[in-house]
Amino acid sequence: MTFKVARKKREEEEEESSGEEAGAKKSKKEKYVDPEKLLEEYLEEVKLGLNLSYLNLDRDVFRDIIKEPFIAAVGQVKTKPKVRTIVNRLNASGDALLEYIAAKLLQTISLSKMSDEQFEFVVYHVGKLVNELAATLYAEAKRRNRPDLIDFMRSLWNQSSSLRSPVTCPKCGFRAIMPDLSCKVCGYVMQMRELKDNLHLMEQLKDMASTNPEEFKEIVSSGYLFYGSLGPSAPSRFKAESGGIYYEVILTAQEKDQLRKLYSSLQQR
């Protein structure tokens, strides 16, 4: 009995010892490089490697901006990577990294306090954030008298914005007239007459009288139509696209009379 107890005790001690040794090995095995300490060491070289020195950002500001992508670029490693390796990984992110930095700059520094270089960087790399930032950036570019940056933003909006509308704003030139006839970018509000002139609506309706007389007749009789990316549509035939911009256009009595006369003349041919 004494032997059995002693043996059991020894086995427990051996298991405990083995567990401690395994834990020590595991602890040693899972010792990784601390990316935040590495960032402190490599910070200036990273700034140079990303060609961002011209932004003249304070050390603390740049560290906070680049911290998250830097840590992701380092990953979980047990041996210290070279700064060139990390910079190459960051640069491989391309526009995504630059858009991220632009967004972080906006969170960190107010637009009015940005240097010209910093503001230019934000405008040129705003990317998909153009939908929500165009109005703010446009106002700041106007304040700084930077028509070149406005031209760039206008091109970016007109080519890529999901809020791009069928109508160009007569004030700022962005295709940003919303369904309430206000411009999403500069705030200008169009009159219904301006909208019709901008769309050359009467010319389009006259064409419809020949190509689609039934739909034309419905528009004239109802006195209004919907205008979207596919052009004018009669109320019963219009189908709103998800996220699409369209306008409800009311015809004046004079316009309806003019269109009725056109329709009658076509019927008599």
> Do the Cβ atoms of 251 and 259 come closer than 8 Å?
yes
Closest C-alpha among 146, 66, 61, 131 to residue 98: 66
pLDDT at 239: 84
pLDDT at 5: 40
Query: pLDDT, tens digit, for every residue of 123-159?
Result: 999 998 999 999 999 999 999 999 999 999 999 998 8
Beta bridge partner(s), residue 227: 232, 247
Q: Could you tell me the pTM of the whole model?
A: 0.79
pLDDT at 77: 87
> Do the Cβ atoms of 71 and 32 come closer than 8 Å?
no
Query: Would you place residue 1 in the very low, low, confident or very high pLDDT band (cuts 50, 70, 90)?
Result: very low
Query: pLDDT, tens digit, for every residue of 33-42?
Result: 888 999 999 9
The percent of residues above 90 in pLDDT, for the chain, comes to 65
| pLDDT (average), residues 230-252 | 88
Query: Would you place residue 65 in the very low, low, confident or very high pLDDT band (cuts 50, 70, 90)?
Result: very high
pLDDT at 268: 62
Query: Would you place residue 171 in the very low, low, confident or very high pLDDT band (cuts 50, 70, 90)?
Result: very high
> What's phi and psi for 35, nearest 5 deg?
-65, -30
Residue 4 tokens, joined: 């059995």
The percent of residues above 70 in pLDDT, for the chain, comes to 87
Looking at every residue in the chain, the average pLDDT score rounds to: 87
pLDDT > 90? residue 229: no
pLDDT at 164: 86
pLDDT > 90? residue 43: yes
pLDDT > 80? residue 27: no
Residue 31 tokens, joined: 């010792």
pLDDT > 90? residue 22: no
CB atoms within 10 A of CB 88: 12
pLDDT at 134: 95
pLDDT at 199: 92
pLDDT at 6: 40
pLDDT > 50? residue 9: no
| pLDDT (average), residues 70-77 | 90
Q: Which amino acid is at 123?
A: V
CB atoms within 10 A of CB 189: 13
pLDDT > 70? residue 67: yes
> Do the Cβ atoms of 121 and 105 come closer than 8 Å?
yes
> Do the Cβ atoms of 80 and 88 come closer than 8 Å?
no
3-state SS record for the chain: CHHHHHHHHHHHHHHHHHHHHHHHHHHHHCCCCCHHHHHHHHHHHHHHHCCCHHHCCCHHHHHHHHHHHHHHHHCCCCCCCCHHHHHHHHHHCCHHHHHHHHHHHHHHCCHHHCCHHHHHHHHHCCHHHHHHHHHHHHHHHHHCCCHHHHHHHHHHHHHHCCCCCCCCCCCCCCCCECCCCEECCCCCECCHHHHHHHHCHHHHHHHHHHHCHHHHHHHHHHCEEEEECCEEECCCCCCCCCCCCCEEEECCHHHHHHHHHHHHHHHCC
Query: Would you place residue 16 in the very low, low, confident or very high pLDDT band (cuts 50, 70, 90)?
Result: low
